Amino acid sequence: MFGFLNINKPVNITSHDVISYLRKITKIKRIGHAGTLDPFACGVLPVAIGNATRLFEYFDDDKEYIAEISFGKNTDTFDTEGQVTEVFDKKISEPEILNILENFQGEIEQIPPIYSAIKVNGKKLYEYAREGKNVELKPRKVTIENLVLKNFNNTEQKAEVIIKCSKGTYIRSLAYDIGKQLNCGAFLSKLTRTQAGNFYIKDSVNLYDIKTIEDVIKNLKEPTLNLPHAEINEIEAKKISMGQFLKNKQNFSDGDIIVLTHNNKMCAIAKIQDNLIKAGKVL
């Protein structure tokens, strides 16, 4: 079995739970996901089955979210699951939020939450946090392509924002940083991922609607990568499978990464070197 599932992950389960659920149904061990979602978050979770797991590095990195940010408090996890660390009396207005959001457009520096899976000296940050140990966190550069206020509830002091961003962006940290600049505290109270690369929530399937292997097959999608494609014949496909090189008949440039297809099905990812097609991953 080879392909991708566009899963709409429910709340209150981990991304690993999704993989375990699908392994039980398919009896296939080689299943993985792209882009972890926190348990309280929901939405698009691309899942690869079989050799498709080898294609994650070629995925588009951009993500889109709808996030609810609650103002007036900080938590130790920067989200609704953490312990409250500060409470603020200050109330904010919609114009203040609109003005602040402009500061987070483009390339910004972001410090990841201490409760995250980033490793420092071989150990995950959340493990340090649970042990009560302090770790020096270094800022990381991320890109916020678009940040739009969808609505604001003045009474509840909650804002709903649409965020289009690069891979590695922590929406929890973004919520915290917005609250810090407004001097009123903030945490992420809801999160829905609406897009991950070429996967969109409108095309996703709810996890628990997949109950049988037939459901998996029905919803399995062929990989689509934004890379140049080259169709090869049966003899060339056999050469590729044996680790041999092909001539660069289509005049791709040296260094190009391309997708090789045979009978319109993906069979390898290759690189152009010295005007030869050299397969890096045979599928």
User: Is the pLDDT assigned to residue 123 strictly greater than 70?
Assistant: no
The catalytic position among 38, 89, 177, 254 is 38
Mean pLDDT calculated for residue range 177-198: 97
Q: Which long-range contacts (CB under 8 A, 24 or more apart) does 209-215 make?
A: 210/5, 210/7, 210/22, 210/25, 211/25, 212/25, 213/25, 213/26, 213/27, 215/25
User: Is the pLDDT assigned to residue 136 strictly greater than 80?
Assistant: no
Verify that 177 and 157 share a domain, yes or no: yes
Number of H helices, E strands in the chain: 6, 19
User: Is the pLDDT assigned to residue 179 strictly greater than 70?
Assistant: yes
Helix spans in the chain (H): 15-26, 94-101, 125-130, 171-182, 213-219, 234-241
CATH code: domain of residue 78: 3.30.2350.10
Q: Is position 42 within any domain?
A: yes
Verify that 48 and 70 share a domain, yes or no: no
Mean pLDDT calculated for residue range 89-95: 96
Verify that 70 and 132 share a domain, yes or no: yes
Mean pLDDT calculated for residue range 8-14: 96
DSSP lists the bridge partners of residue 84 as: 75
Verify that 127 and 18 share a domain, yes or no: no
What's the structural domain count of the chain?
Answer: 3
Verify that 204 and 179 share a domain, yes or no: no
Verify that 134 and 214 share a domain, yes or no: no
Residue 89: predicted pLDDT: 95
Q: What percent of the chain has pLDDT over 90?
A: 80
Q: Is position 215 within any domain?
A: yes
Q: Is position 268 within any domain?
A: yes
Residues 33-88 have pLDDT tens digits of 988 899 999 999 999 999 999 998 898 879 999 999 999 999 999 999 999 999 99
Q: Is position 138 within any domain?
A: yes
CATH code: domain of residue 244: 2.30.130.10
Task: Report pTM.
Answer: 0.89
Verify that 187 and 204 share a domain, yes or no: no
Residue 122: predicted pLDDT: 67
Verify that 235 and 272 share a domain, yes or no: yes
Grade residue 20 by pLDDT with cuts at 50, 70 and 90: very high
Tokens read off for 68: 């609810």
User: Is the pLDDT assigned to residue 125 strictly greater than 70?
Assistant: no
Residue 131: predicted pLDDT: 66
Q: Is position 12 within any domain?
A: yes
Residue 139: predicted pLDDT: 85
Q: Is position 128 within any domain?
A: yes
Verify that 250 and 182 share a domain, yes or no: no
Residue 126: predicted pLDDT: 63
Max Cα distance, the chain (Å): 73
Q: Is position 224 within any domain?
A: no
Residue 38 is a catalytic residue: yes
Residues 229-263 have pLDDT tens digits of 999 999 999 999 999 999 998 889 999 999 999 99
Verify that 184 and 109 share a domain, yes or no: yes
Verify that 139 and 150 share a domain, yes or no: yes
Domain holding 52, by residue range, is 3-60+198-219
**Average per-residue pLDDT for the chain:** 92
Verify that 67 and 192 share a domain, yes or no: yes
Question: Helix 94-101 crosses helix 171-182 at what angle (to 10 degrees)?
Answer: 120
CB 232 within 8 A of CB 249: no
